[in-house]
Amino acid sequence: MQCFSFIKTMMILFNMLIFLCGVALLAVGIWVSVDGPSFMKIFGPLSSSAMEFVNVGYFLIAAGAVLLTLGFLGCYGAQTENKCALMMFFFILLLIFTAEVAAAVVVLVYTTMAENFLTLMVVPTIKKEYGSQKDFTQVWNSTMEGLKCCGFNNYTDFEDSPYEKENNVFPPYCCFDHDNGTFVEPCTRVEAQNQKVEGCFNQLLYDIRTNAVTVGGVAAGIGGLELAAMIVSMYLYCNLK
Gap between the Cα atoms of 39 and 233, Å rounded: 38
pTM for the complete prediction? 0.59
pLDDT, tens only, 58-99: 777 888 888 899 999 989 988 888 889 999 999 999 998 898
Question: Which residue has better confidence, 41 or 4?
Answer: 4
Task: Tell me the average pLDDT of the chain.
Answer: 81
pLDDT at position 50: 46
pLDDT digits (tens, 9 = 90+) for 172-189: 999 988 778 788 888 998
